[in-house]
Each structure stands twice: as structure tokens, then as C-alpha cells.
Amino acid sequence: MDNWQADNHTALIGALAQMRQILVDHADPQLLPDLPAVDPGPPMALPSTLEQLSNLFDLSQFEQLLLLLCAGVELDASFSVLCAAAQGDAQRNYPTFSLALAILPEAHWSALLPTAALRRWRLIELGSGNSLTTTPLRIDEWVLHYLVGVAQQDERLMNLVQPVVSNEDLVLSHWELSEQLVAAWSGDTAMAQLPILQLCGTEVTGKRAIAAVACHFCGLNLYSVAAYTLPSALNDLLQFRQLWEREALLMGHALLIDCDHIDPADTQKESAIAYLSETLNCPVMISSLDRRRPQQRPLLAFDVEPPEPQEQRHIWQAALGSQVQLNGQVDQLVAQFNLSAPIIQATCAKVQAEFQRQGDNSGEAEPAAPDADQLLASLWATCRGQARPRLDDLAQRIDCAADWDDLILPEAQRQVLRDMAAHVHQRAKVYESWGFGGKSRRGLGTSALFSGGSGTGKTMSSEVLAKTLKLDLYRIDLSAVISKYIGETEKNLRRVFDAAETGGVILLFDEADALFGKRTEVKDSHDRHANVEVSYLLQRMESYRGLSILTTNLKSSLDTAFMRRLRFVVQFPFPDASQRAEIWRRVFPQKTPTEGLKPEKLAQLNVAGGNIRNIAVNAAFLAAEANQPVRMEHLLTAAQTEYIKIERPLTDTEVRGWLS
């Protein structure tokens, strides 16, 4: 490389010497300075940067010499004096089109046009002046650096375009996909005519790594631009396109337009993406969550999925190291969490650093290594946090404190809940080890419908399942997800499921009645559209790796055809008197001071568990304000308040014997 730099420098000096001689031949002798002779040196074995630039942009001899004239002013102090001498005016010590047309061989007016190479590719810049031919000319700074042999990014692109480093440490499935990209760009097709390669899916880091490896094997350097940073003004967008095309052609670059975080409703950005992808005269890739529609330019779409389960196992074990043995418990992590290689590696590094820090703080000479259960628990907790940043903006995370002892339900319903937990916990063994997964993802999700009146335990049961399975629980209000605009409901649901896939969280869809209804008869387009929305939700529930739950107050309002696609249906009955008494016995925490409470009398209140908890909490506040333990009179006052809220009369039968 050093030899090439030296040879390129010598070649450039020789070319400048020839240009200087042309100026001397046309200079006013009275303004001509004394100039030392310059040795042009031997010709280069490889093309110089000037030759490469001339070939790529198809410059004529006149255009090449004009560019060299502008470069000489920056690189040789004598050029300014020579320009003044050649123009017979000491004040005009700069290149102009007029000077070039007068002294350079094979001059042609078409080189001055905005569409000609010098101005189209921004090789030279026009200063301020009264006329085109007398306006000062200056070589573009980036082009000057290129001619000198110093490769760097144009400063006008630095804040927009970033290099994507090629990392060949891909899993096998991603290697195979990168080979497909290489094949799509192989052949005799010119760079400008290559199809756009679109990488689709939520595997953002995987898409970038696959694209970078494919470009590496195509002999290209991959750079990315975030779609949300693209300029919206047409003139700014045109400048970006021209500058990038120039750099891409000279340096062998490909551009990845990152649309993963673009808002589809941002029409200005969408227009900028469409304009660039259609008009850029260089290799282009697009990274997006969903497939974009092709326009005039050919577009090939590739779906990028997270690493296969077996690949994730290898990544986990490699990241943990051969000294760490989890006794097969890695399968639990792989079955529950669908993580990319960088996230797995970062998770392992974080957990191992925590244990190392704890060991260093213990003061022991050789701290004991964490056992498999401790390590698994820490890895599990770290993995749970991976989906939270994406889901917290889309749904409400519920803190799960309830356990099986807090759940007052008939044994039949409790058994169904235990079966649901077993389906989630044993997913890997049944679907992968025992082969039930087959080749289709459909029907592999654990989906359930919880039906029953308000306060009968639907949400608490979800909390118990989440605590048992050590997973996060997120509640999504379906009435807020549904949109009157066609296609928007599916987009909202897709965002939720895509975000949840990483951590396999439990999804609780509240108010299913807002979306599900008896749609057997399609009377108009609204009914047909509602069927599409329901079908999409059920399809995603069937393929979702985790547990998804629908809740409804009215089971009868749901179409039986839809219910058949759900794996579990749990009917939450209204609690009878004995169950209500048991709820009252358990509703107060052990730390709460109580006195003279009568669970059998309290069970006379004909309300569900949710109302019982409300009454207990309100009574606790009344007792705390009076600086007394919770007594029956506090509960009576709280019950009266709760009945006013639910718009029901509190009968004498329900409170008979409370205060006696």
C-alpha cells in the first residue's frame, strides 16, 4: 500500500507538471514567474486515482485536464500565479471555464452542462460570479483527497451514513442466507442494474450481519443509513444521492437503507426511501420489518429468522465456555427465549461478570463457582428483561405477586391452569425432542380463553401462571388496539407479537368481546374486515412461542368456530358462599391487624373476588385512619361504598349479623 501511495503521488505530480506546462505556454510573459522543472517520473504499474476517476465517470480528455487544473491550484502554489498569467489579469488567479476553453486541447462546451460528469458528480464546484464562463471553479474537497490517495468519507455524509462491520461468525442458517444474497448479485449485470435486496423480519442484528458478510464476498463495503435520518427536502435528498453515488462508485460501497424503525405513517420518509431505492446508481439493500412493495426496480425479498434452536444451543454453550455446565438446562432457555447471537453473548457476559464481581467481593482466595441453578436463574432473569424495552411502549406490564394459594377456584379449573403451565414448561421436549413440532409453526402456540364475570379471577390466574413459569405478564386492551382503518388493527397486533417473541412473555388480551363476536354471517365489508382481524389474531396466537390468553365476560358472544382454534378454554364461575368465605380468610395480609372478623358472615355479600379485595382495601384505609384494627364496622362502610360503585343495593340479608 505504501508503494502504491508513493507511485500515485508521483503520477499525480507528473500530470500536474504537464498541466502546468499548458498554462506556461498560454501565459502572459510579463506575469510569468520563474518555475523549477518537474520530473514526471515513470508510469504507474496500476491505475492512478486520476485514471480510476476518469474511467469510472467516463471523463473526456478536456474534462480530465479541467479537473487537474482545479486540483493544481490546491496542490501547487504556482498554479494561482499561472492562472492569472494565462488570463492576462493578476486578479484572476483562479480557474474558470473561459480559461479552460481557451487553453485546453479538445475543448467542448458540453462539459459545462449541469448534466455533464464534472457537475453532475460534483467533481468541481462553481463559485459566485456574474457569468458561467468567468465564475471561479474549485475542485470538491473529497475528490481532492481521493486524487491524493487518501480515502475518507465525505463530511457531508458522516452524520448520515455509518459503516457496517463484516463479522463472519454467522450461524449456519444465516450463512446460507448470505450465500443467497451473493448469488442474487452475481453475474454480468452492471452495478446500477442489480436488484434491490430486501431483508425482512425483526432480527435486526442478524440482518445487518448477513448483509455485511454478503457484501464482503461481493467485494463491496457495506454502509447503512437510518431511514428516519434521511432529508425530506428534495434538494437535500438529491445532494445525498449524488454524494453517495460518487463515493460508492469510486470506493466500491453498497448502501443498506435501515427502515426497521421507520413509522409507516411518515409519508415524507416513505417517499424518500422510495426515491432513493429507485434512483440510486449503486448496490442497494433494504432492512425492514415487513416486505415493501416493489416498484420499477427489481426487488428480491428474504425473510431473516432468529437462529434455529440447535444453533442457539451452540451459541449459549460457546458463550458460557466449556468450564460452565448447565446440565441440559440450556434447553429451557432456548425453548422460552428466542434470542440473537449478540444478545445471547451479551447476556452471558453480563451474568458472568456479576458472579465474578460477587466472588471478588467475597474476600475468598478462590471463590466458589456458581452452581447450575444459580447461574440458570440469573441467565433467566436477564433474558426476561430483553423484551421489556420493546413491549413497555405497547402494553402494560403487571407485577405478579399472587400464587396458587391465593387462587380460589374449583379443582377442575385449577387443573386446567396447571395443564397450561405444563404445556409452556415442556414445550421443547414435546415439540423438538419428541418431534411434535414437525415442519410447521402453526398450532405450536399455547392459547387460552378465560371467560367469566368481572372479578372472578381471570387476571389473577394469569398472574399465578406468570409467577409459576417465571415470566413477565403483559396486558393488552383489545378495545384500544382495534382501529377503524383497514389494516391498522393487524399492524398493532403484529407489533405486540413481534416484540413479545424475544422473551416469550405471557400476553393477556383483555376485552376480547371488542374484537370477537358472532361473525358467521358476513353482511357487509365491516363484518368481512372483522373476520380478517380475528383470523390474524388467532393465527399469531397459534404460532406464538409463549402463552397468550384472551379474556371475555360473555363467552356466548364468541363464535364457536373461533373457539375451536384455542387450545384451552377456562370458565371462571361466580364464587359460591364457601368460596367467598375462603377468599375473605385470605384477603388480608398477615401484617394487617384485624379484630373480630367473621368470614362466614362476610361471605353473605354476593360479590366476586375482585369486589371482595376492593372492600378489604377500603376497610383497611378506614381502620388506619381511625388508628384501629380492621373490624366488621369498617368492612360494612367499605361494602356500602363498593355497592354504590357497582350500582347495586346492599340488602339487609347480606349484612345480617355483621355487627352483633
Task: Say if residue 82's pLDDT is above 70.
Answer: yes
Mean pLDDT of 408-427: 93
CA separation, residue 29 to residues 36, 76, 82 (Å):
16, 20, 10
Which residues, at least 6 apart from 248, have a Cβ–Cβ distance to it below 8 Å? 254, 255, 281, 282, 283
> Is residue 337 domain-shared with residue 379, that is, in the same domain?
yes
83, 215: one domain: no
Residue 266's contacts (CB-CB under 8 Å, 6 or more residues apart) are 228
Q: How confident is the model at residue 34 (pLDDT cuts 50, 70, 90)?
A: low
Looking at the structure, tell me whether residues 297 and 320 fall in a common domain.
Answer: no
The CA distance from 337 to 544, in Å, is 12
Q: Establish if 258 belongs to a structural domain.
A: yes
**pLDDT-derived band of residue 44, with 50, 70 and 90 as boundaries?**
very low
Show which of 320, 355, 386 is a domain's final residue: 386
Q: Which residues contact 88 (CB under 8 A, 6 or more apart)?
A: 28, 31
Instruction: Please check whether residues 129 and 170 belong to one and the same domain.
Output: no
Average predicted confidence (pLDDT) for the chain:
87
Whether residue 35 is predicted with pLDDT greater than 80 in this model: the reply is no
At residue 368 the predicted structure's pLDDT band, cuts being 50, 70 and 90, is low
What's the pLDDT score for residue 43?
A: 54
Secondary structure letter of residue 432 according to DSSP = I
Asked whether residue 427 is domain-assigned, the answer is yes
Report the pLDDT averaged over residues 440-466: 87
Plot region of 316 (φ>0 → left; ψ -120 to 50 → alpha; else → beta): alpha
Q: What is the DSSP letter of 112?
A: G
What pLDDT is stored for residue 477 in this prediction? Answer: 83
Query: Largest alpha-carbon pair distance within the chain?
Result: 126
One domain, residues 377 and 283? no
pLDDT (average), residues 136-144? 95
Identify the pLDDT of residue 97: 95
99 lies in the same domain as 169: no
The pTM (predicted TM-score) of the whole model is: 0.80
Polymer length in residues for the chain: 660
| Domain count along the chain | 5
Please give the residue range of the domain that contains residue 382: 309-386
549 within domain boundaries: yes
Helix (H) / strand (E) containing 15: helix 2-25
Phi, psi of 647, deg, nearest 5 = 60, 50
Q: DSSP letter for 594, please.
A: B
Crossing angle between the packed helical segments 609-625 and 577-586, to the nearest 10 degrees: 40
The pLDDT value given to residue 420: 95
Query: What are the grid coordinates assigned to 131, written together?
Result: 457569468
Inter-residue contact 647 to 611 (CB < 8 Å): no
Res. 503 pLDDT band, cuts 50 70 90: confident
Q: Across residues 240-263, what is the average pLDDT?
A: 92
Rg (CA), the chain: 36
For residues 462 and 450, is the Cβ–Cβ distance under 8 A?
yes
Residue 11 scores a pLDDT above 50: yes
- Contact at 8 Å (CB) between 301 and 259? no
Tell me what pLDDT residue 323 has. 63
Strand 547-552 to 446-452 pairing = parallel
Q: What local confidence, expressed as pLDDT, does residue 515 receive?
A: 73
User: What's the CA gap between 275 and 260, in Å, rounded?
Assistant: 18
Structural domain contains residue 392? no
* pLDDT range class, residue 651, cuts 50, 70, 90: very high
Q: Do residues 223 and 161 make contact, with C-beta atoms less than 8 angstroms apart? A: yes
- Are 411 and 364 contained in the same domain? no
393 in any annotated domain: no
Reading the block at residue 503, the C-alpha cell is 422473551
224 found inside a domain: yes
pLDDT of 264 higher than 70: yes
Q: Are residues 293 and 213 in the same domain?
A: yes
Q: Which of 45-49, 315-319, 346-350, 619-623 is least confident? A: 45-49
Which of the listed residues 509, 544, 572 is the one where a domain comes to its end? 572
Percent pLDDT > 90 in the chain is 53
Asked whether residue 153 is domain-assigned, the answer is no
- In this structure, the dihedral spanned by the alpha carbons of residues 421, 424, 428 and 429, taken in order and rounded to 10 degrees, is 30
The band of 467, judged by pLDDT with boundaries at 50, 70 and 90, is very high
Q: Domain containing 506 — which CATH number? A: 3.40.50.300
Would the pLDDT of 47 be above 50? Answer: yes
Contact 608, 574 (CB under 8 A): yes
One-letter amino acid at 544 equals: Y
Specify if 368 maps to a domain. Answer: yes
- pLDDT exceeds cutoff 90 at 513: no
Q: Which residues contact 402 (CB under 8 A, 6 or more apart)?
A: 460, 463, 464, 467
**Residue 321 burial class via C-beta count within 10 angstroms: exposed 0-12, middle 13-18, buried 19 and up:** exposed
Mean of the pLDDT values across residues 298-318?
A: 91
- Above 70 in pLDDT, residue 377? yes
Residues 23 and 133 in one domain: yes
User: Measured between alpha carbons, how far is 380 from 330 in angstroms, rounded to an integer?
Assistant: 10
Whether 325 and 255 share a structural domain: no
> Facing residues of 258 across strands?
226, 287
Provide the sign of the torsion angle of the four alpha carbons 215, 220, 221, 224, taken in this order. Answer: negative
Least reliable range by pLDDT among 115-129, 552-566, 576-590:
552-566
Torsion of CA 399, 403, 409, 414, to 10 degrees: 110
CATH number, residue 630: 1.10.8.60
Shared domain for 505 and 528, answered yes or no, is yes
pLDDT of 553 above 80: yes
Residue 14 sits in the same domain as residue 86: yes
Amino acid at 58: D
State which of 329, 361, 386 marks the end of a domain: 386
pLDDT at residue 129 above 50?
yes
